[in-house]
C-alpha cells in the first residue's frame, strides 16, 4: 500500500469515526434506543464498512447485525446498545478497553464453574457475542438463564467491556444487588466473562 493510499484510508477512517460519534450522540440523547434507531445505525454501518477496516465500525456492525437478526430489538439489546453508544460518544478512548478487574467485585480466587442446572445472568457488554448468543451458550452447557438478580442466582457474569467505572453505569445496579446478596451469605458468585468462557470451553 503506497503512502497516498494509507493517508486516504486513515482520512476516511477518522471521518467515519467522527460521524459515528455524532450519530451516537443523537441516538442516545433521549436515553433509549428504539427499533428504528437501531435499524438506521445498522444501515449506516453497512455503508461505512465498505470503505473502512476500522475495528470499531466492524465490531459494532457485527454487534448490531446480531441484535437485529431476528427482526426485533428487545429491551436487553436496547440497553446494551445504549451503553455501547454512550462509550463511543462520551469516552472514545475507552472503546474496546478491557475491564480493570482489580476494581471489580469479582470472587477471588476465581471458582470452578458448574453449569448443569445453575442460573446465570450477564451484565455489561460481552466480547463473546450478543446477549442472545451468550444465553444460547449457557443453555448448550446445561445452565439456566436468569431474568434478573435474585437470591436463586448462582453466577453473575461481568461482560468484558464492563469498565472500572461500573458503579456509574446502568448495569451497576445488578452488580450492587449481587454484592448485597453475596454479603448476606447467598451462594452467588461474580465472575468475569473470560473466566466463564474458559470454564465452559467456549474459547
More confident residue, 94 or 32: 32
Cell of 116: 448443569
The ranges assigned to domains in the chain are 3-94, 101-199
Grid-cell match 475495528, residue found: 55
Mean pLDDT of 177-202: 92
Q: What are phi and psi of 32, to 5 degrees?
A: -155, 160
In words, the CATH class of domain 101-199 is alpha beta
More confident residue, 163 or 110: 110
pLDDT of residue 103: 62
Tell which residue, 62, 176, 71, 73, has the closest CA to residue 123. Answer: 176
Grid-cell match 446494551, residue found: 80
Mean pLDDT of 97-112: 69
Of the ranges 69-78, 112-121, 178-187, the best mean pLDDT one: 112-121
> Are residues 203 and 175 in contact, defined by beta-carbon separation less than 8 angstroms?
no
Q: How many Cα atoms are found within 13 Å in the side-chain-facing hemisphere of 135?
A: 12
Q: Which pLDDT band, with edges at 50, 70 and 90, does 135 fall under? A: very high
Q: How many Cα atoms are found within 13 Å in the side-chain-facing hemisphere of 137?
A: 21
Q: Which pLDDT band, with edges at 50, 70 and 90, does 199 fall under? A: very high
> Are residues 135 and 122 in contact, defined by beta-carbon separation less than 8 angstroms?
yes
Supply the pTM of this predicted model. 0.56
DSSP state of 76: H
Distance CA 74, CA 64 (A): 12
153 in helix, strand or coil?
Answer: coil
Cell of 52: 473502512
Amino acid at each position: 500500500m503506497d503512502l497516498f493510499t494509507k493517508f486516504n484510508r486513515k482520512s476516511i477512517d477518522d471521518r467515519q469515526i467522527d460521524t459515528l460519534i455524532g450519530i451516537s450522540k443523537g441516538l442516545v440523547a433521549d436515553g433509549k434506543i428504539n427499533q428504528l434507531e437501531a435499524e438506521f445505525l445498522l444501515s449506516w454501518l453497512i455503508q461505512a464498512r465498505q470503505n473502512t477496516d476500522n475495528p470499531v465500525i466492524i465490531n459494532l456492525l457485527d454487534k448490531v447485525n446480531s441484535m437485529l437478526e431476528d427482526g426485533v430489538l428487545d429491551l436487553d439489546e436496547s440497553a446494551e446498545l445504549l451503553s455501547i453508544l454512550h462509550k463511543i460518544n462520551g469516552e472514545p478512548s475507552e472503546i474496546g478497553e478491557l475491564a480493570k478487574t482489580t476494581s471489580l467485585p469479582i470472587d477471588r480466587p476465581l471458582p470452578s464453574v458448574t453449569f448443569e442446572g445453575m442460573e446465570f445472568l450477564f451484565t455489561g457488554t460481552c466480547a463473546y457475542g450478543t446477549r442472545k448468543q451468550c444465553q444460547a451458550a449457557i443453555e448448550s452447557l446445561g445452565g439456566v438463564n436468569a431474568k434478573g438478580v435474585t437470591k436463586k442466582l448462582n453466577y453473575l457474569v461481568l461482560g468484558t467491556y464492563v469498565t472500572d467505572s461500573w458503579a456509574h453505569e446502568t448495569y451497576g445496579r445488578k452488580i450492587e444487588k449481587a454484592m448485597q446478596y453475596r454479603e448476606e451469605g447467598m451462594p452467588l458468585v461474580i465472575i468475569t466473562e473470560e473466566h466463564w468462557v474458559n470454564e465452559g470451553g467456549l474459547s
